[in-house]
Amino acid sequence: MSDPSAPSAADPAALPLRRTTRFRQLLHSRELEFLLEAHNGISARIGEEAGFKGLWAGGLCMSAQYGVRDSNEASWTQVLEMLEFMVDATTVPILLDGDTGYGNFNNVRRLVRKLEQRGVAAVCIEDKVYPKTNSFIDGEKQQLADIDEFCSRIKAGKDAQRDDDFSIITRVEAFIAGWGLGEALRRAEAYHAAGSDGILIHSALATPREVLAFKREWGDRSPVVIVPTKYYATPTEVFREAGFSIAIWANHLLRAAIPAMQACAATLAREQNLRSVEDDVAPVREIFRLQGTSELQEAEGRYLPRQGGESRVVVLAASRGSALGELTATRPKTMVQVRGQPLLAHIVAAYNAAGIKRITVVRGYQPGAVDLPGLGYVDNPEHESTGELVSLACALDADADDGSDLYVSYGDVIFKRYIIDSLAEPAADFSIVVDTDWHESVNRGRAADYVSCSEPHSRHAFYHDVQLRRCAEDIPEAERHGEWMGFLRVGAGALPRLRTVVRELLARPEGRTAKLHHLLSELVARGEQVRVVYTTGHWLDVDSVADLVAAGSFA
Ligand code: SPV
Ligand code: MG
């Protein structure tokens, strides 16, 4: 394969010979060999996978896939471009249907050079004049090239090739243009003398009469190639016995695709739903396979710097929030509206703004009412009798992925996006955000998770790794350094340890009702470093109707 990054059907290491050499072997093998038409990368790959030892890049189908006529309407460089994709997608030799060579001797020698550069094994040129017309369209009216002039194309092409095994097949169109066997033989003889590597004898008859007559006279002077499109009913055995070198199935992949595409298009236009065609079309994963997607995934593993997976979030939103009264009669607190959107939507938006989109919500009270799109959901059916730790465990049990960082948030705490960014910053196993303005919660008379840390907030502390010492509701004022805002980030490497601590805490009698601050204190008690990021304000814990009013102005 010329492109090591391309998907390959066969192991290139098992194919030591150049494609040009392998084409030669097909041309000279004692067996009848077959080439299948291909007109782009994916059809070439399909042809190789089916077992074809070589492919025919036919002018009819290459032009048709571009939606133009087989009359040199696609430029030769456009053909070349497509060939490059076909070569990249395969390992077998490709014989290009080079029409007339796209001009005179000069165009042919340039074509040969370009084909060699792109890994095309061989070219076939036909003895007509540019621009050509497909042989099956008014063949008798077609003008044949002057023999000497055509021989100059062959000679120039042969002189131009750098790889001795590159082949130039010359196509005799005498039968197509209404001439007889004599003219066909005269031309074949001249082309052979000019250096042609094989003759493609073409016929538009429904029987192989002309090509068999030619082969009988020509014998084994050089390999003879046929395109049995019109005499398709002929048993292949006849070609074998006659001693042809290669039979080309010249347009059958495109012709197979056309009725399949037409049927699919008509059904979709009529039925206006995808169900009606799903069983008749290839699954998308088959496209991926043909494109060699797995090779790219492997290469990414080899070449790309190792990164943790995409961060994920668990939002604990099981509780009703009864202090909100009627507002939570039919939905939990996380779905109560603030500025036209549920609290949960504000939380999701903040995480999304920080580039995090894998969010799992732990539901409990009225789970059916928590249904924002694009989120994962896990239910804690025992939410009424259990604490936050059980809800966290439900989420951890539902997702075994320990390859990415985990954020834990409350479903009733809204916040500015920078809070998440600041939590992401320290490369710590565990980190939390602490509001230095803890007096605020005291003033509002609500319960809060207070923290005591390795040092209080100060300008100086900005440069230090501040560590959590304890987190509880009952930390005496003199020891309080702030209020935990309910955000915890766990680095991917520490997730297995988090799972262990959660499991062991839950095994204790008080574990079923434990809150997250119990978890934090337990982590510290076990010698884990829980890094503290100090901040002030810019978050809101919605516990009461007054909070809700405040949230309206905050959000
Ligand atoms: C082609 O496949 O483009 C050929 C063969 O040249 S034919 O269409 O039969 O002329
Ligand atoms: Mg053609």
In this structure, the answer to whether residues 505 and 440 fall within a common structural domain is: yes
Identify which of 36, 60, 137, 226 to mutate to test ligand 1's pocket (most ligand atoms within 8 A of the CB). 60
The closest residue, in CA terms, to atom 5 on ligand 1 is 250
Q: How many domains does the chain have?
A: 3
- Whose structure tokens read 């109707």? 545
In this structure, the answer to whether residues 119 and 264 fall within a common structural domain is: no
Active-site residue identified among 3, 11, 70, 405: 70
Identify which of 100, 132, 142, 229 to mutate to test ligand 1's pocket (most ligand atoms within 8 A of the CB). 229
Last residue of a domain, one of 195, 226, 251: 251
> Distance from the CA of 134 to the center of ligand 2, in angstroms?
6
Last residue of a domain, one of 269, 291, 313: 291
Q: In angstroms, rounded to a whole number, what is the distance separating the alpha carbons of residues 194 and 217?
A: 19
In this structure, the answer to whether residues 267 and 376 fall within a common structural domain is: no
Q: Is residue 314 part of a domain?
A: no
In this structure, the answer to whether residues 280 and 174 fall within a common structural domain is: no
Which residue intervals of 399-538 are DSSP H helices?
417-424, 439-443, 495-507, 516-525
In this structure, the answer to whether residues 111 and 243 fall within a common structural domain is: yes
pTM reported for the whole predicted model: 0.69
Task: Among the bound ligands, name the one nearest to the CA of residue 38.
Answer: 1
SS (H, E, C) 202-240: CCCCCCCHHHHHHHHHHCCCCCEEECCCCCCCCCHHHHH
In this structure, the answer to whether residues 270 and 396 fall within a common structural domain is: no
In this structure, the answer to whether residues 247 and 349 fall within a common structural domain is: no
CATH of the domain at 110: 3.20.20.60
> Distance from the CA of 59 to the center of ligand 1, in angstroms?
6
What tens-digit pLDDT sequence spans the chain (555 residues)? 334 444 455 555 556 699 999 999 999 999 999 999 999 999 999 999 999 999 999 999 999 999 999 999 999 999 999 999 999 999 999 999 999 999 999 999 999 999 999 999 999 999 999 999 999 999 999 999 999 999 999 999 999 999 999 999 999 999 999 999 999 999 999 999 999 999 999 999 999 999 999 999 999 999 999 999 999 999 999 999 999 999 999 999 999 999 999 999 999 999 999 999 999 999 999 999 999 999 998 998 899 876 656 889 999 999 888 788 888 889 999 999 888 899 999 999 999 988 899 999 999 999 999 999 999 999 999 998 999 999 999 999 998 877 889 999 999 888 888 888 888 777 889 999 998 887 776 666 667 899 999 988 887 766 778 999 999 988 888 888 999 988 899 998 899 999 999 999 999 999 999 999 999 999 999 999 999 988 888 777 777 777 777 777 666
Would the CB of 167 count as within 6 Å of ligand 1?
A: no
In this structure, the answer to whether residues 287 and 365 fall within a common structural domain is: no
Domain housing 280: 257-291
- Whose structure tokens read 């995808």? 274
Q: Is residue 486 part of a domain?
A: yes
CA neighbours closer than 13 Å in the CB half-sphere of residue 55: 33
Examine the residue annotation and report whether 435 is marked as an active-site residue of this protein: no
Q: Is residue 134 part of a domain?
A: yes
- Whose structure tokens read 């005799």? 172
Would the CB of 142 count as within 6 Å of ligand 1?
A: no
Q: Is residue 1 part of a domain?
A: no
User: Two tokens at 316?
Assistant: 């604990």
Extended strands (E) in 391-542: 406-410, 413-415, 430-435, 450-453, 468-472, 482-490, 530-535, 539-541
User: Two tokens at 230?
Assistant: 């019109």
Q: Is residue 315 part of a domain?
A: no
Would the CB of 227 count as within 6 Å of ligand 1?
A: yes
Q: Is residue 308 part of a domain?
A: no
Task: Kindly state the helix (H) or strand (E) to which residue 171 belongs, with its residue range.
Answer: strand 167-172
Q: Is residue 336 part of a domain?
A: yes
In this structure, the answer to whether residues 47 and 132 fall within a common structural domain is: yes
In this structure, the answer to whether residues 105 and 247 fall within a common structural domain is: yes
Q: Is residue 140 part of a domain?
A: yes
User: Two tokens at 272?
Assistant: 């206006």
In this structure, the answer to whether residues 281 and 368 fall within a common structural domain is: no
> Distance from the CA of 418 to the center of ligand 2, in angstroms?
64
Long-range contacts (CB closer than 8 Å, 24 or more residues apart) made by 238-241: 238/208, 238/212, 239/32, 239/208, 240/31, 240/32
Contact in structure between 489 and 354 (CB atoms under 8 Å): no
In this structure, the answer to whether residues 339 and 434 fall within a common structural domain is: yes
